[in-house]
Amino acid sequence: MKNIVLSIDHMAIIVNLENQDYLVDVGFGKFTLEPLELIPNQKITDTLGQFQFDTYEKDYYRINELKSSDLIPQYIFKTDPRELSEFVQRCEFHQTSDKSHFRKKKLISITTNEGRITLNNSQLKITKAGIEEEIRFKESEFETKLKHYFDIEIRKDSY
């Protein structure tokens, strides 16, 4: 029998305060801004939407976004402690492999007081008060948009 090594892909943090667990996940793109109290089958309202945990198979939780009355799965996780070294293999994959979706296009996103701004190679999404505006542009304009909306300039001598 082959020994299977589990490769860990995403790091979220479970924080325990006063004997209650909270999911804190700042690295999952358009998600929540606030810690989510880890209580299964209870609707949780956050600045960016509504969420609900449920159990998934044995020993796993699933976090769902609640849209209307639909539960839209975001990801599954366990609360087992992990070592940073367990993330190395997938981190390297995402940075170097042509099969990684992270290498398919540029992507930057930031929350604002009104919503969110997301920029990729040729598309800008500006969300204000729940209304999303999508602007398409030529890929050659990416750096101009990056400077205008994120105040980031790519120095030509940096790569």
Residues 20 and 38 in one domain: yes
Give yes or no for a contact between 40 and 61, defined as CB atoms under 8 angstroms apart.
yes
Residues 37 and 91 in one domain: yes
Residues 95 and 28 in one domain: yes
Residue 159 lies in a domain: no
Residues 79 and 129 in one domain: no
Residue 16 sits in which domain range? Answer: 1-99
Number of domains, the chain:
2
Residue 113 lies in a domain: yes
Q: Which two tokens stand for residue 26?
A: 């700042």
pLDDT at residue 159, as a whole number = 56
Residues 16 and 82 in one domain: yes
The CA angle 133-99-97, to the nearest 5 degrees, is: 110
* CATH code of the domain containing 5: 2.40.128.150
Residues 15 and 87 in one domain: yes
Domain boundary (73, 99, 125) is at 99
Residues 5 and 81 in one domain: yes
Threshold 0.75, pTM exceeds: no
- Per-residue three-class SS string for the chain: CCCCCCCCCCCCEEEEECCEEEEECCCCCCCCCCCEECCECCCEEECCEEEEEEEECCCEEEEEEEECCEEEEEEEECCCCCCHHHHHHHHHHHHHCCCCHHHCCCEEEEECCCEEEEEECCEEEEEECCEEEEEECCHHHHHHHHHHHHCCCCCHHHC
Residues 61 and 95 in one domain: yes
pLDDT at residue 15, as a whole number = 92
Residue 17 lies in a domain: yes
Residue 53 lies in a domain: yes
pLDDT in tens, the chain (159 residues): 344 445 577 888 899 999 999 998 877 767 787 899 999 999 998 877 899 999 988 888 999 999 888 999 988 888 888 888 988 998 999 899 999 988 889 999 998 888 889 999 999 999 888 788 999 999 999 999 999 999 999 888 755
Residues 16 and 72 in one domain: yes
How far apart are alpha carbons 75 and 31 in whole angstroms?
Answer: 11
How far apart are alpha carbons 30 and 8 in whole angstroms?
Answer: 21
Q: Which residues contact 137 (CB under 8 A, 6 or more apart)?
A: 122, 123, 124, 145
